[in-house]
Amino acid sequence: MLTVAPVHTTLPLMKKPIALVAAMDEEVDALLAVFPDHEAAPHFHTPFYRARHNDEQLIIAQSGVGKVNAACSLALLLSSFEPRIVVNTGCAGGLQPHHRILDFVVPEEIVYTDVDITPLGFAYGQMLGCESRFRASQDLIVRFRELAAARPEPITCHHGLLGSSDSFIHSREQIAAIRARFGDEVQCVEMEGGAIAHTCTRFGVPFLILRAVSDLPARGNNAHDFLAFLKQAARVSADLCLDFIGHLAGTQCA
């Protein structure tokens, strides 16, 4: 009988990549600027980039704006590249009176502010078949807090609840409706985080949302501020994302 000796290999197992997701050109451009070792890898008409930072493999993805675009891009990203974690970065509107432009928001929970199936006995913002709120990875939040505490210059960062919808929040009526349904819980508002949280939760992938405040909807013409501060907010958010990836490289993460 022929005996086949087992084959032993000394090749190291490659870690799965970290995925970085942003919606708009300006936000993706800011990520590519801080992770210059990258190459385009478009897939099914979706912009993806393979990147490296030290010994980390990264996938940078442009989701597009809004919940459907974000869900489509995330499903494709997760099935094609199998990242071990997802970090969503970019901009958001700060909803609290003490918020300032270029503050950071790293939410612990995410809710849809435009989903209403309350006649069927669900909480406002809760989708059928889902928990009432999606929860960011507690492990990644702990890692972020470690990073924030270790920085030589403190950063202003708000946690709590992120509100996500397919609307740019700008009017008193929109803000009043959010507060009527959620009180003062919602820290910031944007258009992709709910779908990103929903998709990652459904597929069991840990995620973190890291946004810089680009505008303040409760203080007048925030569309003007959004356009004026979009690139700067995208840049500081990408810079913080770079620091966070560096911090993860020195810690154990999922």
> Coil, helix or strand for 48?
strand
The answer to whether residue 3 scores a pLDDT higher than 50 is no
Average pLDDT, the chain: 92
Q: How confident is the model at residue 102 (pLDDT cuts 50, 70, 90)?
A: very high
Q: Please give the positions annotated as active site.
A: 27, 215
Give the pLDDT of residue 249.
82
pLDDT tens sequence across 67-87: 999 999 999 999 999 999 999
Q: Which CATH entry fits the domain spanning 18-249: 3.40.50.1580, 1.20.1290.10, 1.20.140.10, 3.40.50.850?
A: 3.40.50.1580
Q: How confident is the model at residue 161 (pLDDT cuts 50, 70, 90)?
A: very high
Give the pLDDT of residue 252.
53
Q: How confident is the model at residue 9 (pLDDT cuts 50, 70, 90)?
A: very low
pLDDT tens sequence across 115-156: 999 999 999 999 999 999 999 999 999 999 999 999 888 899
> Among residues of the chain, what percentage have pLDDT more than 90?
87
pLDDT tens sequence across 195-226: 999 999 999 999 999 999 999 998 888 999 99
Helices 67-81 & 193-203, crossing angle to 10 degrees?
30
Closest among 139, 137, 143, 65 to 108, alpha carbons compared: 137
Give the pLDDT of residue 153.
87
Cβ burial of 76 (10 Å; 0-12, 13-18, 19+) is middle
| Tokens representing residue 175 in the block | 């803000």
Question: Whole-model pTM above 0.85?
Answer: yes
Q: For the chain, which residues make up each domain, given as ranges?
A: 18-249
In this structure, the strands spanning 104-105 and 157-158 are parallel
Give the pLDDT of residue 251.
66
